[in-house]
Amino acid sequence: MKALFYVLGTSAATPKPKRALPSYYFEHEGIGILMDCGEGTQFQVMKAGIGFSKIKVIAISHNHGDHLLGLPGLIETMSMGSRKEDLLIIGPPGIKEFLEVSFKVTTFAPSFKVYVLEITEEVEVPLRGIKLKMFPVKHHGYSFGIRVETVPKRKVNKEKLEELGVPKRLWGRLQQGEEVEWKGRVLKPEEFTWQPQGIKVVYSGDTAPCERVIEEARGADLLVHEATFLSDMEEEAHERGHSTAKDAGIIASEAKVKMLLLTHYSSRYEDLRRHLDEARRFFEYAYLAQDLMKVVIKK
Ligand SMILES: [Zn+2]
Ligand SMILES: [Zn+2]
């Protein structure tokens, strides 16, 4: 099992020459999910070598410009490429209106259907082989963290089935969750199959330290957590609905994730070494997210 994760932009609020605005991309078995779409995301998608057609869903954590303003341009580019496949956008209320106005003013109509699912509370969206969940965090208005988890096929307990002498032709049905009658006995799928763990990635969105992120990220393969400030600005960070690198380290350690990527750096910081030092004091496997970084997760 394998999934890809790309960091497309790591800057908070305003871009820097080497830091684009927030956007991340997760891909598993041909299904791509773009998380946030700051202005200029389409360039980053190109630079990363991601095919636009792979993007099936765009999840927007919240409606601040640095996470949203790239949408109209990206959709227009997808359209120029004569995309026909539907696109699903999930995010807080207002996105539909924002797109409608953008398209109206620029007299543009996409070449494909754009569905916008506006949410005000947590939601779980099943995709092919992936569960996408958006859950509330502590930032501004409706703000969400994003959790993606692959859903592997159930595995059969071969020894148990062989021991009973159940013929192989019936195994597949059990694996698909069906009950099977055999020799007058009803075999239940939960008795003979088990669900292997998927690959789990959680993105905090913008947020002050949040219990819910810890809960959702528990045991995750990768936590991408905002670290807008350093801890000497802790009070201001929390007041503005943001976290420090120290907060991110503590959260990763409490959630017992396998790897932490810090991101969403305030443009006041050129050198990010202190971010890394701060987080690593609490969590050893912390790294600095950088634009166009690619993480391959295998399980
Ligand atoms: Zn932001
Ligand atoms: Zn924000």
Q: For residue 291, give the CATH number of its domain.
A: 3.60.15.10
Q: Please give the pLDDT value at position 157.
A: 93
Protein residues near ligand 2, an ion, with CB under 5 A: 64, 206
3-class SS letters over the chain:
CEEEEEEEECECCCCECCECCCEEEEEECCEEEEECCCCCHHHHHHHCCCCHHHEEEEECCCCCHHHHCCHHHHHHHHHHCCCCCCEEEEECCCHHHHHHHHHHHCCCCCCCCEEEEECCCCEEEEECCEEEEEEECCCCCCCEEEEEEECCCCEECHHHHHHHCCCHHHHHHHHCCCCEEECCEEECHHHHEECCCCCEEEECCCCCCCHHHHHHHCCCCEEEEECCECHHHHHHHHHCCCCEHHHHHHHHHHHCCCCEEEECECCCCCCCHHHHHHHHCCCCCEEECCCCCEEEEEC
The dihedral region occupied by 13, where left means phi > 0, alpha psi between -120 and 50, and beta the remainder, is: left
In this structure, the answer to whether residues 179 and 212 fall within a common structural domain is no
Q: Please give the pLDDT value at position 82.
A: 87
Q: Tell me how far the alpha carbon of residue 181 lies from the centroid of ligand 2, in angstroms.
A: 55
In this structure, the answer to whether residues 188 and 220 fall within a common structural domain is no
In this structure, the answer to whether residues 138 and 224 fall within a common structural domain is yes
The yes-or-no answer on residue 277 being catalytic is no
In this structure, the answer to whether residues 227 and 245 fall within a common structural domain is yes
- Ligand nearest the Cα of residue 66 is 1
Q: Tell me how far the alpha carbon of residue 139 lies from the centroid of ligand 2, in angstroms.
A: 7
The number of domains in the chain is 2
Domain that holds residue 38: 2-152+196-298
Dihedral sign of CA atoms 209, 212, 215, 217 in order? negative
Domain boundary among 141, 176, 192: 192
Q: Tell me how far the alpha carbon of residue 240 lies from the centroid of ligand 2, in angstroms.
A: 9
* Residues in CB range of 51: below 8 A, 6 or more apart: none
**Residue 215 contacts residue 251 (beta carbons within 8 Å):** no
In this structure, the answer to whether residues 214 and 244 fall within a common structural domain is yes
In this structure, the answer to whether residues 92 and 180 fall within a common structural domain is no
Amino acid at 270: E
In this structure, the answer to whether residues 80 and 172 fall within a common structural domain is no
In this structure, the answer to whether residues 80 and 123 fall within a common structural domain is yes
Q: How many CB atoms lie within 10 A of CB 69?
A: 18
In this structure, the answer to whether residues 40 and 92 fall within a common structural domain is yes
Q: Please give the pLDDT value at position 244.
A: 98
Catalytic residue (one of 66, 221, 247, 291): 66
In this structure, the answer to whether residues 129 and 276 fall within a common structural domain is yes
pLDDT tens track, the chain, 299 positions? 999 999 999 999 999 999 999 999 999 999 999 999 999 999 999 999 999 999 999 999 999 999 999 999 999 999 998 899 999 999 999 999 999 999 999 999 999 999 999 999 999 999 999 999 999 999 999 999 999 999 999 999 999 999 999 999 999 999 998 999 999 999 999 999 998 999 999 999 999 999 999 999 999 999 999 999 999 999 999 999 999 999 999 999 999 999 999 999 999 999 999 999 999 999 999 999 999 999 999 99
In this structure, the answer to whether residues 44 and 21 fall within a common structural domain is yes
Give the residue from 95, 134, 143 showing the smallest Cα distance to 115: 95
Q: Give first-to-last CA distance, the chain, whole Å.
A: 5
In this structure, the answer to whether residues 53 and 175 fall within a common structural domain is no
Strands 123-127 and 114-118: unpaired
Q: Tell me how far the alpha carbon of residue 204 lies from the centroid of ligand 2, in angstroms.
A: 11
